[in-house]
Amino acid sequence: MTASVVSIVYVNDAPAAAHFYGDLLDSSPSFETPGYIVFDLGPGADLALWSGQFEDLSPDVPRTGEICLAIDGGSDELDAIFTLWQSKGITILHEPQDAGFGRTFLAADPDGNRIRVAPQD
């Protein structure tokens, strides 16, 4: 069986979210409809933005899951990404800190979905 993993993120406005994630990932969507937009993240991994499933998602609602962007570089690269994201006005929930798996920080998209940046295992 061939399998791939698609992480689906619920958003209020898929095109607006695609603009946010496209800038964040420095990437363009691989598939687009008005309410469902997909980014190819590499072999077997996609990020899908889906709107219309819930009305008026609020950033104030607690989120229990995260999208994790695992980077190849070390602490210096992670800190550079953090600085870049801050300069873009991205909401930062937790500044860089050292955790059991390495240096990490936590941000949020405009709908309140959590985005963690961490080292690749």
- Do 85 and 46 fall into the same domain? no
58 sits in the region (left: phi over 0; alpha: psi -120 to 50; else beta) called: beta
Read off the pLDDT of residues 8-28 as tens digits, 9 standing for 90 and up: 999 989 999 999 999 999 999
Q: Considering just the CA atoms, what is the radius of gyration of the chain in Å?
A: 14
Q: Does residue 58 lie in a domain region?
A: no
Among 8-17, 34-43, 50-59, 76-85, name the one with the lowest average pLDDT: 50-59
Domain count, the chain: 2
Kindly report the CATH number assigned to the domain that includes residue 107.
Answer: 3.10.180.10
Residues 70 and 120 both lie in one domain: yes
94 and 69: one domain? yes
- pLDDT given at position 1: 59
CB 96 within 8 A of CB 82: yes
User: What's the half-sphere exposure (Cβ side, CA atoms, 13 Å) at 119?
Assistant: 15
Segments forming the whole domain that contains residue 44: 1-52
